Structure 1
Amino acid sequence: MGRRAIIFHGTGANPSVAWYPWLAKRLAERGFEVEVPHYPGLNVEPIAEFLPGVLAAHTFDEHTVLVGHSGGAALLLALLEHVPAEQAFLVAGYCTRPNDSEEPVLQESYDWDAIRSHAREFYFINSLRDPYGCDAGQGRTMFERLGGTQIVRNDGHFGDYGQDYDEFPLLDRLIG
């Protein structure tokens, strides 16, 4: 059975922006079955209502690689309470409100033990400073609860309106 990778976009984004298409192509060339779903309801609908649809729409197993950017990284925390993964990459991720915006993708609390038990490897990739507050401090908070590897760069939000980030070689290299 081939390996699967699922790339979850960030809040207000879609599968055709930033580095998502580039990474999907790179992984497909390496033999991954790649999904880059479009979820306009991400961080709009409350996570308790949103999560069941995501769980039902995909197949997850211990060989799945999960990649989430920003709101998509926050989504990974909720997903990983319920499903297994080989690797989880949280790019510009966060587990508490990073700014003054409502964050319906966040849960009130997380079962950190369950999340930790569902992925073999965690990677938290954040910047020293992030325009939305999804910074190295947020990465550190998740790292302290889940272990894994924290990578701190100085690359803003790793792609956003006004920040071109069409390729992400670091992420391509880390995905095993």
Structure 2
Amino acid sequence: MSPTKAVIVPGNGAGNVEQCNWYGWANKQLNKTPDMTCLLKNMPDPVTARESIWLPFMEKELQCDEDTVIIGHSSGAAAAMRYAETHKVFAIVLVGAYTSDLGDENERESGYFNRPWQWEKIKGNCRHIVQFGSTDDPFLPWGEQQAVADGLGSQLHKYTDRGHFQNTHFPELIRVIHKIKETD
């Protein structure tokens, strides 16, 4: 069985997600994939990205389920990980993932970082876990990204020159989704 849906969960502060970073481009590419639909919607509470608002939205509005690949960028990666602690999903693809509030008040208010990560539950609820990270990310120390990889045993794609993955195209992401789709 292969996934039938991909959902892109953006980072906080993304504004109109269709026009931000690689989100709109990736959405178009994935919607060209046979037997797959991709969803990309502006999130409620887009600045603070509160877990208490985003996770119910992912469940009820985006309908993330066992046939879904959740692609989470930055705070969207934190949301994908927390969602996978309590929901079965086909896969999570984490872009710029991290484990703490980084000493930032807005991140603290989001609610994702107020308790330990349940790595084993996440692994048990996902058939595939892929992670993209870059050592030159201006927002996320490499140690944070490596801690996610260590906790999840993710298939890690490590770069030295991609920053916070705010480019307009992301072909490696599309290749990974296609590979996930083909291998199951």
Q: Under TM normalisation by the shorter chain, which class is it?
A: 0.7 to 0.9
Matched residue, 1:15: 17
Gapped regions of structure 1 (runs ≥ 5): 160-164
Matched residue, 2:144: 138
Supply the AA of the counterpart residue of 1:174.
V
Matched residue, 1:162: none
**Residue 8 (structure 1) shift:** 0.7
* Normalised TM-score (structure 2): 0.83
Matched residue, 1:6: 7
What's the C-alpha RMSD, in Å, of the aligned pairs? 2.0
Matched residue, 2:67: 63
Q: Whose helix fraction is larger, Structure 1's or Structure 2's?
A: 2
Matching of residues 67-86 of structure 1 within 5 Å: 67-86=71-90
Same amino acid, percent of matched pairs: 28
* Normalised TM-score (structure 1): 0.86
Matched residue, 1:25: 28
Matched residue, 2:173: 171
Matches of 1:12 and 1:145, distance apart in 2? 27
Gapped regions of structure 2 (runs ≥ 5): none
Q: Alignment length, in residue pairs?
A: 170
Matches of 1:55 and 1:39, distance apart in 2? 12
Contact 2:3 2:69 in 1 (8 A): no
Matched residue, 1:38: 42
**Residue 42 (structure 1) shift:** 4.0
Matches of 2:111 and 2:156, distance apart in 1? 22
